[in-house]
Structure 1
């Protein structure tokens, strides 16, 4: 399915160009996008998620390193890179001011195409600990009961 590869390329380019409108056009209006930061549903929430990333990492790039297609799903790996210069909003509402630190880490995802030729869902996976450590977030593990 060549078109799914082209759609992934379009999404990757839109992200690297920090073009929120182009990003959301790669998804159906009812798409579900799952990341370690939470679940986003629909264009408004998906756009909000990427707007937060673009603010925190104005020079962010995703470089695809591998991909495989299985029917209507594409699995991909990439390297995320960017400089943390803007406010980073963490799950729970904590804001981390820009640290100026360079962040580089691997990530992976699976995107499934809907009937209308754009992604109906996306799931993204990355090492949150590496991400937070590289941004300079002061995270401390606490015991629970």
Structure 2
């Protein structure tokens, strides 16, 4: 994940036997070298300073589960939405899935509404804890 923070995508790509990113909140699947490179291009065009801050790392039988804060500043177009110049921070979980000893998929979960509200694109969700 550190290689993504410094935009060393060659190192990131080299960790995969077959690169595949599944972004669950948007339903996007980037499968194969060319598509995953397109993912990096698109996300870093919108968020040039996108980065991950590790919170916890957990090992499982068929993978590694990583909890992190995903952060960035919206400085370029995002799916046709012009840049807002606003920053976001969103707790995120990624599953790094393996077949034997080969990394074959990164499956990412986050709350898209959190990011969109911090960018000023949707109203924040009301608190269930009241107005405190």
**Contact kept? 2:63, 2:95, Cα under 8 Å:** yes
Structure 1 residue 118, shift from structure 2 partner: 4.5
- 2:5 counterpart of 1:20: no
Identify the match of residue 103 of structure 2 among 108, 116, 119: 119
In structure 1, the gaps of 5 or more residues are 1-11, 90-94, 140-145
Shift of the 118–86 alpha-carbon distance from structure 1 to 2, 3 Å rule, reads farther
Structure 1 residue 138, shift from structure 2 partner: 5.0
TM-score using structure 2 length: 0.82
Structure 2 counterpart of 1:53? 43
Q: Which has the higher helix share?
A: 1
TM-score using structure 1 length: 0.75
Task: Give secondary structure in 1 for the equivalent of 2:121.
Answer: coil
Identify the match of residue 52 of structure 2 among 42, 47, 62: 62
Structure 2 counterpart of 1:74? 64
Aligned residues: 121
In structure 2, the gaps of 5 or more residues are 124-132
Shift of the 51–118 alpha-carbon distance from structure 1 to 2, 3 Å rule, reads farther
Q: Deviations over 1:4-53 (max 9, x none)?
A: xxxxxxxx111101223222222223x33210231111111111112111
CA RMSD of aligned residues (A): 1.8
1:138 and 1:75 map into 2 onto residues whose CA distance is 29
Runs of 4+, deviation exceeding 3 Å: none
